[in-house]
Homo-oligomer: A and B are copies of this chain.
Amino acid sequence: MARTRNATKAAADPVSLPKLDNQLCFAVYAAAQAFNATYKPLLEPLGLTYPQYLTMLVLWEEDGLTVSAIGGRLGLDSGTLTPLLKRLEAAGLVSRTRDAADERQVRIALTPAGRGLRQKARGIPAKLLCASGMSLGEIKGLHGALGRLTANLGAARAAD
């Protein structure tokens, strides 16, 4: 009753919003930042950024994909991938060639250097496993929960 209130009766006290530290979205955001920061010094000797590393992981699994196929795996569009792939090409790791059968598509193929880089990346997953400080079981649980979360958010978005 301290102060006079004129028109509205709302805003009596500050609107309740969850604190930043209690919000799942921020925990995810911070974890993504932490992964990026952890990867950076490990990828620096390979001359890759983290998104470039993800792209190489895709290509090491399956070579000769189109831009949109890579984008489908990573959830990125051509506006992100085109310049990224041009940088990988400039680094001599991939080639970009128009598909002869369908010239709209650009196929991304590993060069020998791009294939060879896989050797240098071999030790990275173990280092990250170690840095995570988590058991395999815990990681598996977390991975599964994040997968369901991502799928649910996607479905909610699709439902509008």
Hey, which bits of chain A sit against chain B, CB under 8 A? 10-11, 14-20, 22-35, 37-39, 54, 57-58, 60-61, 73, 75, 116, 118-119, 121-122, 125, 128, 130-134, 138-139, 141-143, 145-150, 152-157
Q: How many copies does the complex hold?
A: 2
Q: State the CA gap A125–B121 with chains docked (Å).
A: 40
Q: CB distance A61 to B19 under 8 Å?
A: yes
The 7 closest A-B pairs by CB, nearest first: A133-B152, A131-B156, A34-B153, A27-B146, A32-B32, A25-B35, A34-B150
Q: CB distance B153 to A24 under 8 Å?
A: no
State the majority secondary structure of interface residues on A.
helix
Given A19-B61, A119-B11, also A146-B73 (CB < 8 A): no
